[in-house]
Amino acid sequence: MVEQHRNTVSIRRIREACRTCSLNDLCLPVALDAPDVDALDRIVQRRRPLARGEVLFNTGDRFDAIYAVRTGALKSMTIKEDGEEQITTFHLPGELLGLDAISFREHPSTASALDTSSLCEIPFAELEDLAERIPGLNRQLLRIMSKEIFNDQEMLHAMARRSAEERLAILLLSLSHRFARRGLSATRFRLPMARHELSNYLGLAPETMSRLFRRFVENGWISVSGKELSLEDVDALRALTGSPSAIMQKDIGSEKHH
Amino acid sequence: MVEQHRNTVSIRRIREACRTCSLNDLCLPVALDAPDVDALDRIVQRRRPLARGEVLFNTGDRFDAIYAVRTGALKSMTIKEDGEEQITTFHLPGELLGLDAISFREHPSTASALDTSSLCEIPFAELEDLAERIPGLNRQLLRIMSKEIFNDQEMLHAMARRSAEERLAILLLSLSHRFARRGLSATRFRLPMARHELSNYLGLAPETMSRLFRRFVENGWISVSGKELSLEDVDALRALTGSPSAIMQKDIGSEKHH
DNA sequence: CGGAGTCTTGACCTCTATCAAGTTTTGTGG
DNA sequence: CCACAAAACTTGATAGAGGTCAAGACTCCG
């Protein structure tokens, strides 16, 4: 009974902590105990919000924390010597930034806000210490990173030898899925990034992106008004990707317990 | 003195263990203790070698171990519904396979041998248990995964909006770097994969790959005889990539201790 | 209202995929 | 070790997707 009660409390506390800081990935679905969540919660720091365009960290900056997006959105990019930027990831609410910096202790990319964004900062040294004491947290960290690897490879797969149309469809569905995961609408959302950022990410010219949007609208697959996007025919988009269900459908925690 | 001695022994043991199983990534450069290395060594299992073309694991297989390549080489690929395969990674000696499977407990890709290959199998459950007891190992695991994320994003960056020439140059330099890291020549090596596998990986048609090789040879950048490759003008190749030094130059362990 | 940035549209041209033969290499069984 | 089939690779011709250049239309703010 006590055990039962304790469990319930634990779960409620976890959800609460997750809500306050978009830490879903980090807390769920592992069975972190209430005290564990407290401990985790204690090292997490709220930061002042970032304004649109503001930089969170620069390439080469020392790595000492990972970040969780609470609201808004960010992009990670590398800068080629010729000054061109290449966007490598978009970070939506509930997602983590900085995982690629752990091994070199230095950020290999620059992260900036696409929009006014609030974040939580998780000092990595403390997280590591905590992970040593909480096996569940440790495992969850590994899982998150594994998922990141999986996603990147999925994206790589998605880019290679695919037409511009296919790429855009894949990206739109990925965004849809990631918003839905946060409890937002899967079919109507506001694109946090500019067209040229979409095109940059997908390795296309901005002009191509513009033509693609027109074609998608003409085909009745989407409707657009500025940055407001509505997916009108998800099936058509899925058909384009060639993978009715595979892309980005899986979630951490969706696997069965054993 | 005793401490000193112990330390020396420890380092020698680590190197030894690494040599036997290509576990550099996992053991170095963290200060794993001799008993720690023993423990790690104990859970590592030698497998019978894989013949060329043989499958190590299939998409959807249950995940219960990660693997280290000792000799030979493997490829990871996903299969599209239309039956086409898309290669996502090549695995050279000293590199790890299966990290993308941790979060779903199921392999998202199929791995097969490009060549006769010998591997070490590291049961993941045991590795996790061990990592809980050995903080250094745990950190090193996180680092390796972080590096994997970094590499994938680097590759993504490399693919987006780059010409076929640039892609090939990037890949050749990456292979060169990875061989050099293992103590092999950075300029003369045997490509473990077929031309069409290279082209598949880079998202190009096999014909394009063939023409690229011819052009690279004509330009005096490389020389080729079957699968034997020699980089004749590394600077020219680097110039192509647009990043004189950034790509794949960093190594786990290159960062300073603190 | 104006001006900078962003997005769209059109014309053109380059790169690379595709198709279609060849040619060489590889692997296997006699 | 050779012969022969099956892959793998090369080469050429052609076409199409998408990049580039150039100009014009929105849109967002101050």
Q: What is the pLDDT of residues A98-135, one digit of tens each?
A: 999 998 899 999 999 999 999 999 999 998 888 888 87
DSSP A227: T
Measured in degrees and rounded to the nearest 5, phi and psi for residue B154 equal -60, -40
Pairwise CB contact (< 8 Å): A102 & B146: yes
Give the nearest chain B residue to A250 (CA atoms).
B104
Beta bridge partners of residue A229, listed in sequence order: A189, A224
- Residue A188, strand partner residues: A230
* Bridge pairing between strands B96-97 and B188-190: unpaired
Residues A144 and A49 both lie in one domain: yes
Q: Do the domain assignments include residue B4?
A: no
- B114 and B206 share one domain: no
Residue A205 contacts residue A199 (beta carbons within 8 Å): yes
- Span A222-247, mean pLDDT? 83
For residue A246, pLDDT over 90 is answered with no
Q: Residue B135's domain is classified under what CATH number? A: 2.60.120.10
- Residue A98 lies inside a defined structural domain of this protein: yes
The count of other CB atoms within 10 Å of the CB of residue B218 is 8
The per-residue pLDDT for range A41-88, each reduced to its tens digit, is 778 877 888 999 999 999 999 999 999 998 899 999 998 767 788 999
Question: What's the pLDDT at B9?
Answer: 45
Q: Are residues B252 and B168 in the same domain?
A: yes
Domain boundary among A116, A151, A186: A151
Whether residue A2 is predicted with pLDDT greater than 90 in this model: the reply is: no
Q: For chain A, give the mean pLDDT.
A: 82
Nucleotide nearest to A161 (CA to C1'): C17
Contact criterion met (CB below 8 Å) for B136 and B30: yes
Distance B207 CA to C21 C1' (A): 13
B173 domain residue, yes or no: yes
**Domain identity same for B130 and B200:** no
- In the predicted model, residues of chain B with pLDDT beneath 50 are 1-11, 13-14, 29, 244-258
Asked if A180 and A144 sit in the same domain, the reply is no
Which residues share a beta bridge with B71?
A: B118
* Domain end point (choices A151, A182, A211): A151
- Which tokens go with B81? 């519904």
Q: How many residues does chain B have?
A: 258
As a whole number of angstroms, the distance between CA A111 and CA A72 comes to 13
Which of residues A191 and A10 earns the better pLDDT score? Answer: A191
Who among residues 147-176 of B has its Cβ near strand C, under 7 Å? 163-165
Residue B15 within any structural domain of the chain: no
- Given this model, what pLDDT does residue A19 score? 53
| Cβ–Cβ < 8 Å for B1, B226 | no
Pairs of CB atoms within 8 A across A/B: 157
Between CA A89 and CA A100 the distance in angstroms is 11
Give the distance from CA A243 to its chain's centroid. Answer: 21
pLDDT at res. B250: 41
Q: Which helix (H) or strand (E) holds B126?
A: helix B124-133
Q: Is B112 helix (H, G, I), strand (E, B) or coil?
A: strand
pLDDT (0 to 100) of residue A63: 96
CB A168 within 8 A of CB A158: no
Q: Domain of B131?
A: 43-151
pLDDT value of position A35: 72
Task: Report the number of distinct structural domains present in chain B.
Answer: 2
Q: β-pairing, A118-123 with A65-71?
A: antiparallel
Of A150, A159, A255, the CB nearest to B159: A159
Distance CA B235, CA B249 (A): 14
Asked whether residue A168 falls in the same domain as residue A246, the answer is yes
Q: Clarify whether residues A224 and A178 are in a common domain.
A: yes
| Residues A212 and A246 both lie in one domain | yes
DSSP A223: E
Question: For residue A15, what pLDDT band results from cuts at 50, 70 and 90?
Answer: low
Do B212 and B119 belong together in one domain? no
Question: Is position A25 within any domain?
Answer: no
Distance from first CA to last CA of chain A, Å, rounded?
Answer: 24
Domain membership flag for residue A209: yes
Q: Are residues B177 and B215 in the same domain?
A: yes
Nearest nucleotide by C1' position to the A205 CA atom: D19
Could you tell me if B145 and B50 lie in one domain? Answer: yes
For A217-226, which contacts have Cβ atoms below 8 Å and span 24 or more sequence positions? A222/A172
CATH number at residue A213: 1.10.10.10
Cα distances (Å, whole numbers) of residue A233 to A173, A189, B100, B132:
11, 14, 31, 48
Answer yes or no: is B100 within a domain: yes
Task: Report the share of chain A in percent with pLDDT over 70.
Answer: 80
Residue B24: per-residue pLDDT: 56
- The whole-angstrom separation of Cα B216 and Cα B240 is 11
Q: In this structure, is residue A19 part of a structural domain?
A: no
Q: Is the pLDDT of residue A140 over 70?
A: yes
pTM, whole model, 2 decimals? 0.84
Residue B121 pLDDT: 92
> Looking at A99, A122, A151, which one is the last position of a domain?
A151
pLDDT of residue B18: 53
What pLDDT does B96 receive? 92
Cβ distance B98 to B63 under 8 Å? yes
Strand order in the sheet with B96-97: B45-46, B118-123, B65-71, B96-97
> What pairing do the DSSP bridges indicate for beta strands B222-225 and B228-231?
antiparallel
pLDDT at B258: 39
A139 touches strand C (CB under 7 A): no
A95: which residues sit within 8 A by CB, 6+ positions away? A22, A25, A68, A69, A178
Residues B49 and B139 in one domain: yes
